[in-house]
Amino acid sequence: MTLPYLLLDIDGVLIPFPAADGSTPRTHIRHEVLPSGRAPSDTVSVWLDPNHGTLLTDLLASSLITPVWCTSWRKDATTIIGPLLGLPDFPYLDLPRAQITTSHPDGYLWKRDHVDAWLGESAVAWIDDDFTTLDHTWAAERTARGHPTLLVQPTPYAGLQPDHLSRVREWAAMVGGGRGWRPKASRGA
């Protein structure tokens, strides 16, 4: 039996955006990281809540879902962000480097077309801060066709909260831990 997927974004979810005054949540700790392709002197500051690692690890230990990074951080999610949070290694969706000026060039989140093709008929809980009404409509339509789809949308200035993961856990348990849901033969993640 295939478990539902948990697609997890980073920016605005695990790394909150600074408030208008430049502040970040007090729960988050600053880290200097070096994403792939950058010069050694060109580090990036990120703020991460160490509690997220524990909360996500607990969810993963439930064996209700299969985690996959779904972020423009791509492989760096696995090699940089995950280790900083103490997360086990899990795959990432190899999203293209889109040449866009908005996250919603067609009125919905740019990642969605890639996610939809990759998922096939698999059940999914997707956590991202940047969904639009069209994304929520897509999720409802997928669910109506028998492909359970939960979108969880944190506020980008606060990021992921414990209740978001509680919703995912409850949803995954209701879906039945993947009973009856099978992915397409090839995944590529």
Asked whether 108 and 119 are in contact (CB, 8 A), the reply is: no
Tens-digit pLDDT profile for residues 11-65: 999 999 999 999 999 999 999 999 999 999 999 999 999 999 999 999 999 999 9
Mean pLDDT computed over every residue of the chain:
89
pLDDT for res 178? 44
pLDDT for res 187? 37
pLDDT above 90: residue 119 = yes
pLDDT for res 183? 34
Distance CA 7, CA 126 (A): 5
Distance CA 134, CA 124 (A): 17
What average pLDDT does the segment 158-186 reach? Answer: 75
Asked whether 156 and 10 are in contact (CB, 8 A), the reply is: no
Distance CA 174, CA 181 (A): 13
Quick count: other Cβ atoms within 10 Å of Cβ 45? 11
pLDDT for res 180? 37
Tens-digit pLDDT profile for residues 81-98: 999 999 999 999 998 877
What average pLDDT does the segment 56-82 reach? Answer: 95
pLDDT for res 101? 62
pLDDT for res 105? 67
pLDDT for res 117? 93
pLDDT above 80: residue 131 = yes
What average pLDDT does the segment 159-174 reach? Answer: 96
